[in-house]
Chains A and B, each alone.
Chain A
Amino acid sequence: MNRALACLALAACGTDGPCDDRAGACIAITVEGDISRIDQLEVDLLYAGLHRTTSSRPSGGGTTGLPLELAIAIDVSAETPVGIVAAGKLSGNVLGTGSASTTLDANLHTTLSLVLAPPDDCTAGALYCGGDKLAGDPETLYQCNGGGVPLARGVCLGECAIRPNNDDTCRGVGTCVEGGNYCGGDKLDGDPQTLYRCTAGAGTNPRLCTDGCIVNKDADDRCR
């Protein structure tokens, strides 16, 4: 029996991984799910305070079945948490969404499995913690994207709070200084990609940061 298994293992070693020909950090993702075919995999990435949305389609067009695999190569130079949300689409319709996370490092190759499940009925444009009506990490705030993959707003520094009658939000950690500027979730409740002014301990005058909100330890937070 052991001989047989060894032979099978050797035979399996002949397969190439999607990251095998990649230099630098790379995630080999296997996408599974109870979906027959898709023509596009839309991917939302959150890493190093950056938020990126992109997609991959089958070479030459057409559709492909699951499971499928693809490589996500990310240029990082240090240990970096990476959050991934994916949506399988066919003719523009989202058939399933799923999420996964890992930590990359320079030149590190890793593998990840992601399962697509039918999406919940979230309200387009509203904010949700992962798992609350959309796929994602429970400690990350996302925006419901009516026709595509949920868009990550950022990992909450503290708790991601689910609010049944309002947008979910990142809870602030600590107490904000009156008049100071803070990203949501940093000493006041809010969206991690929005800059707020601290007024009586709460965020006011929200300003959307188009390329992320940077938290500063000893100074006001700011948009990138």
Chain B
Amino acid sequence: MQAWIATIIAALLVCGTARADDAEAAAQVHLDRGVAAYGAGDFALALHELQIVVELVPHKPNPYRWLALTEIQQGDCAHARLDVDSFLARVPTDDARIPELTRARDACVQRGVPKVTIAPPRAPAPEPARPIVKRWWFWTAVAGVVAASAVIIYATRDDDPTRLPPIVCTAGGCP
């Protein structure tokens, strides 16, 4: 009899562990979706996904954190306060995420919804400027200017129209 009882308890434990592993895996999928939706500014979808996560793994603190952040963005400060409290109840008092979350909660209560800032994708860094003398067109242009100058000078060197006849002065005067 005792052997049977032990066998049944062991079977229940194994089954329970298996269900817990399945729930955590599913929760991770929904958490990832919720965080992605939050980052994209789709707070309604984020809320839906994160509520599923909380149902699947109610003992985990992180889903409450994301849920609270989502509710704050939606202006639902009352639910946000409850979820912040749930998060605080599940983490040590020195958890690094606490200050950020409580600041967001307080801001929601005092001033309304904090503005969502989603950083735009970074533009590729500009290429370092090359010196102008190392650009292919520079010396081509210089050569063109030199050639044009030489042609103009050569073409105008004789019979310069802006040259007046010389003035020649001797002891007798300047005729």
Contact = CB atoms under 8 A, between A and B. Distances in A.
Given A15-B157, A75-B170, A69 B142 contact: no
Interface string B142-159: 100110011001100100
A14 B166 CA distance: 20
A94 B154 CA distance: 34
A54 B172 CA distance: 13
Contacts of B153: 11-12, 14-15
Contact-residue size bin, chain A (C-beta under 8 Å from the other chain): 35 or more
Interface in B129-175: 133, 139, 142, 145-146, 149-150, 153-154, 157, 160-171, 173-175
Interface stretch (A58-66, A135-143, A186-194, A197-205): A58-66
B133 A70 contact: no
Of B160, B168, B170, B175, most buried by chain A (CB within 10 Å of CB) is B168
Interface residues on chain B, size class? 20 to 34
B167 A54 contact: yes
A68 B161 CA distance: 8
A65 B160 CA distance: 12
B164 A73 contact: no
A1 interface: yes
A158 B153 CA distance: 47
Contacts, number: 83
Nearest to A12: B153
B157 A14 contact: yes
A163 interface: no
Contacts of B166: 18, 22, 56, 70-73
Given A8-B146, A16-B157, A45 B164 contact: no
Nearest to B141: A4
Interface of B: 133, 139, 142, 145-146, 149-150, 153-154, 157, 160-171, 173-175
Given A14-B154, A18-B166, A70-B163, 11 more contacts: A4-B139, A11-B153, A12-B149, A14-B153, A45-B169, A64-B161, A66-B162, A68-B163, A68-B164, A71-B167, A72-B168
Interface of A: 1, 3-4, 7-8, 11-12, 14-16, 18, 22, 41, 43, 45, 47, 52-54, 56-59, 64-75
